[in-house]
Every structure is written in C-alpha cells, then in structure tokens.
Structure 1
Amino acid sequence: MAIDLTDSFEVIDERFRKLAFGNVHLERLYTGCRWAEGPAWFAAGRYLVWSDIPNDRMLRWDETDGSVSVFRQPAMNSNGHTVDREGRLVSCEHRGRCVSRTEHDGTRTVLAERFEGKRFNSPNDVVVKSDGSIWFSDPSYGIDSDYEGDAAPSELGACCVYRIAPDLRGVTRVADDFVQPNGLAFSPDERLLYIVDTGATHRDDGPRHIRRFRVKEDGASLAGGEVFAECGNGLFDGLRSDVHGNIWTSAGDGVHCYAADGTLIGKVLVPEAVANVCFGGPKRNRLFICGTTSLYSVYLNTRGAGRGMR
C-alpha cells in the first residue's frame, strides 16, 4: 500500500516514497534573515550554524532547546560553511575573499586567500574530503555589489573551483569552465563531485544546472563534468548527498531530490526560495534548509553521507 505523504512532499517518482515519512511536516525553526545560507551541523554540541549574509552575521540554532542566538557578528559576510575532520568550522568569506577556519579556541585562521598571487573573488561554498583536503567554489557574488560583500573588480578574471591541500601548503584550480560555480557535494564514496553553476544570474542564456565530475585516482583532480540535472524552478544553489547517493539540492520551490541516475524523484516543498541544505541531528536524518528569510527542517528516511559534513 502506497504511503500517503503530507503536503510538505511532492512525489514525482515512486522511489521518493521510501525516503519520506507519512506523518512528517516541514518545520520552520527561525525567521528574520535577509538571505539565509550555508548551514553546518556540529554533532558534539547539537547545534547548527548558518549565515545571514546581508546582515553580516552568523546564527546558531540549539537542538536542545530550540533557541537561536548570534554566533558571530560581524562575520565577514560569510556564505557557505562546513565542518572539517577535527570538528572545526570552515567558512567561505565574501568580504574576506578567503576560506577561513574557526579553531577550537575561537580564533580565526585564514586557510587560502590568493591563487597565483591574486585575490579570490568571493568564496561561496565548501566541502571537506576524507583526506582533509578542502574544495571550494569562487563565483563573483560577493564582489558584484556592497549588499553581500564589498564591490570590487575581479583580480583573477574568472570564476573557478579550487582545492586546498590537506597540509594547507598549496591551492590548485580543479575546474575553470564555469560561469558562476556554486554549491558542491561529494558522492558517498567520494568518487564523484557534483558542482552547481548558477550562471543564469549573470547571463540570459547562462547555466542553471548541476554538473557531475569524476575524481581521478590521485584524489586531487577532476575529469568529466557532464550535466547531471537542469533546474526547472529558479536556480540550484547548495546541495548534499545522502548515503544512497541521492542528491538533495536547493531550488526556487523547495528542495529537489535526484536519484543517482539523474532522475528528479521528489521535492520537499518550502514556501520560500531555498539557498542551501545540510543533514544533521544525532542520526543525520534531519535535513536543515536555509530558505531566504528562514531556517527550516524536515525528518527524512535517509541519512546524510559521511558524518553530516557534506
């Protein structure tokens, strides 16, 4: 017998029913942002950190009591975040034009701010691979205006994807054929890297899709890059993979779920355009959703890949 799902879900392919629960609704946990982005789950503390970019602050939601507080302000117009293998916050800073790390004692360390002597545009989203390397996108959004950063010309003249070596001693460019590279996510086995291109924000005929790359045997470079999925509502932005290889990606009407074969199988419907998502909670089966002005969550019948960091 087919499961009747609540109006928080839209089933497009029957495979999606196995990923949702019949009695679960989307929950709004907080509202009051201008552009919510970059959620990152801290398992040890049972809390979530996310960005409110135009308000130049980072917020903290506590799972133990549902409270929200300011984690950091000013916050260098930080955008995407992740948690590294040692439980430290890794952040993409628009205004700092760098990738930084918050140490366990609260101090800030700049991990990368230049490539070949030139400043980055405005690092946007970031993932940490199991070998400790850090992969991030560098579109121009943070230097396009003063709303989410500081308006400035691009020193690099291109928007690309980069990798910071595990020992932090080198930065390499791993993909350079993007208009505006955005969200990133590894597959569960880290053999694939999915990268969003939101180039439609800057070109009428620009891309609004996810591309899929193969991670080469060296673990440090990419091959391929075919289009995995085209966005049918708004733009893709941030995305995550679950343990089954499904891709959960933000879109204009909520979160779209794609099977590993590229089929759109279902949606989590959200009343605001979604910017980014991450898995969290003790079992990594709670999807946290940054939707424009608000933070939402929904429980799913799947778990985030890795340790909830991607």
Structure 2
Amino acid sequence: MFDRSIVALCDAHEGPVYVAGDAVLYATSVRRPGPQSVILRVVVDGGDVDEITVGAVMPNGMTLDHDGLLVVCEQGDLDHDACISRIDVVTGHREVVVDRWRDLPFNSPNDVVVAADGAIWFTDPEYGHLQGFRPRPELPALVHRWDPVTATTDVAADGFDKPNGIALSPDGSTLYV
C-alpha cells in the first residue's frame, strides 16, 4: 500500500492533514506551556518540521476544504473564544468561520470534516474546561453543522459524552462520530 515511510521528530498530537500535491503533512502539537499548541508543517521529502504562525488559539483537529484551505478546530483559551477557522497556509491569512451557536460560545471544538456541499461538521466536547484552559461550558457536548450557503450553524447531534472524531461516508450519507 505504501512505498516508503518518513521519520520526523515533532510533538504532533492531532490534525493530521496530508496535502499530496505539496508533499506536506500538517498536524497540531501537544499542548505547550502557556497553554498553547501550534500547527506544524512536516515536509515529506526530508522530514523538515516548521511551525505555521497564524494566530490560531489551541488548534486541534483539522481538515482541508474544497479551496485547499485548512479548516481548524480552535479550542480557544480563557481569553479567546473557541472557533472553527480557515487558514491559507501560503499567505498566512486566518478567517474565523464560526465561534458561537445561538450567541453561546463553543466549548472546545475537537474534530472536523467538510462535506461535498462545503458544509463543515464538527464535534464540540468539554475537554478544554476539563483540562483547565477553557471556562465552564454554556453548551452540552454537541455535534454541529455549519452551512456555507446561509452561514448558520445547527446542532446536528446531541446526547454524546465528549464526542471526539468525525467522518463522513464516501457518499456523504452517513456521519460517523
């Protein structure tokens, strides 16, 4: 299946997004003092690792959208709201897509997937509060869907205890959490 492997020494934790055309792997680091984590770029040919500086606050799960931008779950911290952002890794431009549901702040978005229609689905557990870097949640642990046409966010699923991990079936008809 794979014809080679690379070794890159880094403190990768979540994310991973492989961009075949650029031969680059993006991942988020483990939490560092502060608290803070960063987005790492691993160059497949040679294994060089550098940090992407874009102002993302506690980045966690990531994916690519249809424009080739990184869609990032930012967990936030005690001073910054959690959000879903889009980052152009070439220009460094960062755009907050959504940071609230019905005027209530997200807990600490964890994992994300983009559907064929451009909708962004993401999990929002309370890990940031449980780990001491986010305030007490105002929302239960939920799965959200952001609609790119209306720019609105809805609850897609509830009743989870710390939803973590999200994927769509190849035909987009089934959401896995």
Task: Tell me the C-alpha RMSD between the 2 structures.
Answer: 2.1
Contact 2:123 2:142 in 1 (8 A): yes
Q: Distance in 2 between matches of 1:168 and 1:48?
A: 31
Aligned residue for 1:48? 25
1:160 alignment partner AA = L
Aligned residue for 1:153? 136
Corresponding residue to 2:87 among 78, 88, 102? 102
- Deviation per residue, 1:73-127 (Å, 9 max, x gap): 7641110000000100100011141100113532111111111110000000000
Aligned residue for 1:39? 16
Aligned length: 168
Following superposition, which runs of at least 4 residues in structure 1 exceed 6 angstroms of deviation?
none
Aligned residue for 1:252? none
1:80-229 map, 5 Å:
80-95=61-76, 96-103=81-88, 105-146=91-132, 150-156=133-139, 158-167=140-149, 169-195=151-177
Contact 1:59 1:72 in 2 (8 A): no
Unaligned runs of 5+ in 1: 1-19, 196-310
2:100 alignment partner AA = R
Contact 2:53 2:92 in 1 (8 A): no
Aligned residue for 2:60? 79
Q: Which has the higher contact order (CA 8 A, sep 6+)?
A: 1
1:97 alignment partner AA = A
Task: Say which SS state the counterpart of residue 181 (structure 1) adopts.
Answer: coil
2:48 is the counterpart of 1:67: yes
Q: Distance in 2 between matches of 1:54 and 1:167?
A: 34
Task: Say which SS state the counterpart of residue 21 (structure 2) adopts.
Answer: coil
Contact 1:53 1:78 in 2 (8 A): no
1:98 alignment partner AA = C
- Determine which structure has the larger strand proportion and give its number: 1
Distance 1:105 1:73, change over 3 A: closer
1:290-301 map, 5 Å:
none
Larger radius of gyration between Structure 1 and Structure 2: 1
1:79 alignment partner AA = N
2:145 alignment partner AA = R
Contact 1:92 1:126 in 2 (8 A): yes
Structure 1 residue 141: deviation in Å?
A: 0.7
Task: Say which SS state the counterpart of residue 7 (structure 2) adopts.
Answer: strand
Task: Say which SS state the counterpart of residue 46 (structure 2) adopts.
Answer: coil
Q: Distance in 2 between matches of 1:162 and 1:32?
A: 31
1:159 alignment partner AA = A
Distance 1:44 1:32, change over 3 A: closer
